[in-house]
Amino acid sequence: WNTPIHVDAASGGFIAPFLYPELEWDFRLPLVKSINVSGHKYGLVYAGVGWVVWRSKEDLPEDLIFHINYLGADQPTFTLNFSK
């Protein structure tokens, strides 16, 4: 069962590391490849703000990278930007 795991730590990701530091739910587990948190829950920021991190560059799917031409150069981005 060598299945890669994504951890949706939407709210618990802000609490678990401090309340239960011995709880292994993060990159200490070798099959965890990515983790996300939602900043608007316990990160005290506006709704819609969140973060995702990958264990390594190799774990980031190429399909998630948008290549845009900005000022004549290729700019890889992960952000959906509707202002250009």
Which helix (H) or strand (E) element contains residue 5?
strand 5-8
Per-residue model confidence as pLDDT tens digits over 17-76: 999 999 999 999 999 999 998 877 766 777 777 888 999 989 988 888 888 888 999 988
Which helix (H) or strand (E) element contains residue 75?
strand 73-77
**pLDDT reported for residue 27:** 96
* Whether the predicted model's global pTM rises above the 0.85 cut: no
3-state secondary structure 39-59: HHHHCCCCCCCEEEEECCHHH
Say if CB 39 and CB 66 are below 8 A apart: no
